[in-house]
Amino acid sequence: MNRLWLALISRLLLCPALLIGAFVRGSSPEEPDQQMLSEQKHFIECLACVYSPAFWISYIDALYFHPKNEAQAQQVENMKAARSKYLVLTNQEARYALTAKLFAASGINEAWQKKILLPYSATNQNLTPTLDKSVWVVPSYKLLQARAGGDALIQDGASTYFVMNFGRGVDDAASTNAVLIRRGEDLCRR
């Protein structure tokens, strides 16, 4: 699923200028003013950043937006602060429409568009599905024992974890960047 995700999102990351042009050509007959173009460009750059695979977690056949470290969280906050200074592109519905139009212009399959862009709602200000579970990012670990069914015992410095469904960890020779998500008792500290 990660390869497919990377291929889909790379379409957004590789051609922001083309996507800006597609949006502007499809907008009203009069030329948008310089402020609107500037804000649209910034907003699209923000989208290219947050739709980078580095900010997403695949969990139970769904994708969730979740900054994995303090630097990513700060980057998201900086983008929010910059967007709060918009003078023209201030309407949430207009931002959503721009995002949906960009996704359609990118060629991303409609089913994937629905997975990564939540339906517009006045009560939900997030464009992306978010993960509301405890998440740990383990920058490096040692695989102590692989168990049947993809379970594993891993060690991160002084901490040891039993992780259920850690199938990718068994094949990961680098043993880096494990994302552990608490689901019931799936992740247990020992």
- pLDDT at residue 186 tops 50: no
Query: What residue segments make up the domains of the chain, in order of their start?
Result: 2-116, 135-189
The Cα–Cα gap between 5 and 73 comes to 21
* Residue closest to 104 by CA, chosen among 7, 4, 12: 12
Q: Is 156 buried (19+), middle (13-18) or exposed (0-12) by CB count in 10 A?
A: middle
DSSP bridge partners of 156: 159
- Alpha helices (runs of H) in 26-106, residue ranges in sequence order: 34-50, 70-83, 92-106
Which residue type sits at 123? T
**pLDDT at residue 182 is higher than 60:** yes
Could you report the per-residue pLDDT of 57-112, keeping only the tens digit for each?
A: 887 778 888 888 889 999 999 999 999 999 998 888 888 888 889 888 888 888 88
Q: For 144-178, what is each residue's pLDDT tens digit? A: 888 877 788 888 888 888 887 776 555 556 676 67
Q: What is the dihedral of CA 128, 129, 132, 136, to 10 degrees?
A: -80
Predicted TM-score (pTM) of this structure? 0.64
Burial (0-12, 13-18, 19+ Cβ within 10 Å), 125: exposed
